[in-house]
Amino acid sequence: MDQKVSDVKVHKMGAWSPGPGCHGGCGVEVSVKDGKVVNVEGMDDHPWYQGRACARVLAMTQYMYHPDRLKWPQKRVGNRGEDKWQRISWDEAFDICEKRMKEIAEKSGPESIIFTQGTGRDVGGMISFLAYAYGSPNWTMLGLSGHSCFTPQLAAGYVMQGDFSFPDAAQFLPDRYDDPEWKAPEIAISWGSTLNRGCVDHYWSGHWFQDLMKRGTKLIVIDPRCTWEATRAVLWLQPRPGTDGALALAFLNVVTSEGLVDKAFIDKWCSGYDQLAERVKEFTPEWAEKISWVPKEKIIQCARMYAKAKPASIEIGRPVEGNPEGNQVIMNIHRLIAITGNLDIPGGNVICRPAYQVTTYPYSTEEVIQLYGADLHRKLSEKRIGADKYPLVKQFRAWAQEDCIIDQMETGKPYPIKGLWIQANNFLANQAQDTRRHYEASKNLDFVCVVDTFMTPTAQLLADIVLPAASFPEKDSIYCIGGPLNVIHKVVEVEECKSDWEINFTLAKRLNPKAVPWGSVREMLTDRMQPSGYTFEQMVDKVWDLAPKGHKCGSRPYRRFEKGELRKDGKEGFRTPTGKVELFNTSYEGWGLDPLPYYKEITPQGPITTPELYKEYPLIMMTGRRSPVLFHSEHRQIPWLRECDPDPVVELNPETAKEKGISNGDLVWIEGTMGRFRRKAKVTPIVHPKMIMVPHAWWLPETEGKSPNSYGIWDLNCNQTIPMGHQDSAGFGGGPISGMLCKVYKA
């Protein structure tokens, strides 16, 4: 929707993300004057954000018109890492990509190119579109062991109840908190999630929780750090990193042994409760205290408060997914939600589906089949890396498995990897654990193309071709991951930048014309929006829409399991093999995995697994905490944002700092068994004396990009000290991103 104000035109859109990081689905107003964006701010009448905007939105003009932004295609003319580039035309860039990719397909098969995405931009839909048109099954997020970011949370919900679920903050209701059906949760648990920072994980964010607090919701926080939320909580549990699984089992023990369950919901809508209750008898609060460092009294208090609250909700953060057997940990949290009767009720954890079941970014096997058909999915799964080893990789999400990919890049078995298509992914500076290993495995590939908005360490060190991507005011796209159906529409151009959709659509048509029957990106988006009844142009005028109550897509809560809105056959119940919430999980049983809760202390390092090593490296390193102004490895060039978060730091407790002779602002080394990296000390009481917190994804775009400096990643990157190969037995979860041992000393 566009509005004319004087000589400034204001365009309303439900954007994927600001600038372009995160995946929030913000409602924004983009003001354009003389063909240039002059201001971006929140849209008051958007149902999710209601006018709110983060710092990245407000700095959008600095992002779009930054002098260092990539503005035209470039090809490498020196050796990789030499920083020697030549400007080329789009036709030449597409010609090179087409030629090199066809050569690889003919000699080694299309599966030998890995298509790897990051979190930012709405890139998941278009990179899978290109990969499948080319014929590669290997779409992934390279370097993150066990895909331990959001995928385990989705997978756990999928196998337990057939759908994803998240806390209810009225985000699926047009009237929000004024809807007569909605209730504020009495208790909300923030479990390893910093609500007021960074990405909103699609469905929930800090401002929503503040809205709930104003309406009486009380907060419980489970987090090793004393976060903003912890200072406002009625109860704060401070566990040892990697032991959330012990807490979840102890909560189940308390709730079942004390009868704090919703018997009516269990009897009608759950299966396996008696087996669950019997299994968790051994996981007492006393047992969990020894493992987690959380006093048993607090464990019991937390379990009782949550179970007795009607309704109550739980937000699960990324660190929980990195626990040993991370998928199992989150399954146990879903078990807790179900047996207390808090599933798909007002104020509980509500099942989340895309509006009208429109999808461009397939999160599950069903969505891949919806877009591309069962035959293609079956064919591609035969060669998808990791699908033969891990049941969730084969049965749930159509991603190739990270840990298996790095092994195969090194060994060439069962087939060689020859190329990388890298889109919105700066893995060498951001998520790739054992960073040197990934660099060595990637640097000699036959062909590497990077699509991004700025030159990054990954592009500088690996790329043959670099293509300039558009930010959200420069592209047509749709956002449809839960909540409203949003449209993003192009209102300006910046030099020769093209949207990810334009780039992938054009190249896919060159590689496989039969896979691209549409004449334009807008025509394709309209086709994918068919279930909504809207064309792309109609949605430009409407901006956003929520499916009405009772719509067959089942995208609006509540109690859809009672109404037959969740299952394709229209029957009551859930989209699982039994039609119930599976406390005894039949899918796991069929895959040869334990169908009931269990605990494994299988961290690669720790006080219990490696006690002698713990004496030499007496601190536990946590990583991955979000910045309120930077998103992963993005935005470090942007003046306003970098001013707010200027330095790569390590947070350590005053007791720890005093013992090591470290003062605030000192340069220090953080050393682990795999190497060391350097940071600036930030002495703060919010961190446990036995732990440190290291923000991830740091690089310095103001420094030299060519090898060996590479924007400082080899000095700053904490992932150099974190191994691969510790994934969950089901394939997803388990990356030890917040549990490695280290020591700290002055540089």
Q: 225 in a domain, yes or no?
A: yes
CA-nearest of 239, 432, 392, 210 to 317 is: 239
The residue-averaged pLDDT of 647-661 equals 98
The residue-averaged pLDDT of 313-338 equals 95
CA-nearest of 36, 69, 134, 112 to 469 is: 69
Q: State CA 289 to chain mean position distance.
A: 30
Which of 556, 590, 624 lies at the terminal end of a domain, its last residue?
Answer: 590
Cβ 90 vs Cβ 479: under 8 Å = no
Q: 564 in a domain, yes or no?
A: no
At 293 the pLDDT is 97
Tokens (6 digits) for 630: 């930077």
Same domain assignment for residues 576 and 678: no
Residue 447 has pLDDT above 90, yes or no: yes
At 484 the pLDDT is 87
**Overall residue count recorded for the chain in this entry:** 747
Same domain assignment for residues 237 and 286: yes
CATH of the domain at 221: 3.40.228.10
Q: 496 in a domain, yes or no?
A: no
Same domain assignment for residues 582 and 721: no
Same domain assignment for residues 197 and 296: yes
CATH of the domain at 653: 2.40.40.20
At 608 the pLDDT is 92
Confidence of residue 197 (pLDDT cuts 50, 70, 90): low
Q: 625 in a domain, yes or no?
A: yes
pLDDT digits (tens, 9 = 90+) for 567-586: 989 999 999 999 999 999 99
Q: What is the mean pLDDT of the chain?
A: 93
Residue 483 has pLDDT above 80, yes or no: no
Same domain assignment for residues 656 and 575: no
Phi and psi at 374, nearest 5°, equal: -70, -35
Same domain assignment for residues 680 and 725: yes
At 204 the pLDDT is 62
Domain, as residue range, for 621: 611-746
Same domain assignment for residues 583 and 644: no
Q: What is the pTM of this model?
A: 0.96
CA-nearest of 626, 114, 738, 110 to 402 is: 114
At 210 the pLDDT is 85
Tokens (6 digits) for 270: 């759950």
Q: 127 in a domain, yes or no?
A: no
Same domain assignment for residues 625 and 582: no
Which of 590, 623, 648 lies at the terminal end of a domain, its last residue?
Answer: 590
**Strand (E) positions, 251-383?**
270-271, 312-316, 349-352
Which of 590, 621, 646 lies at the terminal end of a domain, its last residue?
Answer: 590
Q: 519 in a domain, yes or no?
A: no
Interatomic CA distance for residues 646 and 665, integer angstroms: 12
Q: Which of 20-29, 75-84, 552-561, 665-674 is least confident?
A: 20-29
Q: DSSP assignment, residue 99?
A: H
Same domain assignment for residues 230 and 328: yes
Q: 437 in a domain, yes or no?
A: no
Residue 205 has pLDDT above 70, yes or no: no
Strand partners, 675: 672
Confidence of residue 16 (pLDDT cuts 50, 70, 90): low
Percentage of the chain modeled with pLDDT above 70? 97
Sheet holding 447-452, edge to edge: 85-87, 74-76, 465-468, 447-452, 419-423, 113-117, 139-140
Residue 202 has pLDDT above 80, yes or no: no
At 3 the pLDDT is 67
Residue 146 has pLDDT above 70, yes or no: yes
Longest dimension (CA), the chain: 71
pLDDT digits (tens, 9 = 90+) for 155-186: 999 999 999 999 998 988 888 899 999 999 99
**Strand (E) positions, 26-65?**
27-33, 36-42
Residue 609 has pLDDT above 60, yes or no: yes
pLDDT digits (tens, 9 = 90+) for 93-136: 999 999 999 999 999 999 999 999 988 778 889 999 999 999 99
The residue-averaged pLDDT of 374-403 equals 90
Interatomic CA distance for residues 256 and 340, integer angstroms: 10
Domain count, the chain: 2
The residue-averaged pLDDT of 512-530 equals 96
Residue 198 has pLDDT above 60, yes or no: no
Same domain assignment for residues 346 and 232: yes
Same domain assignment for residues 700 and 731: yes
Higher pLDDT, 549 or 282: 282
Tokens (6 digits) for 69: 């932004």
At 4 the pLDDT is 64
Tokens (6 digits) for 70: 């990539």
Q: 203 in a domain, yes or no?
A: yes
pLDDT digits (tens, 9 = 90+) for 668-685: 999 999 999 999 999 999
Same domain assignment for residues 178 and 307: yes
Interatomic CA distance for residues 229 and 231, integer angstroms: 5
Strand partners, 505: none
At 1 the pLDDT is 66
Interatomic CA distance for residues 620 and 606, integer angstroms: 8
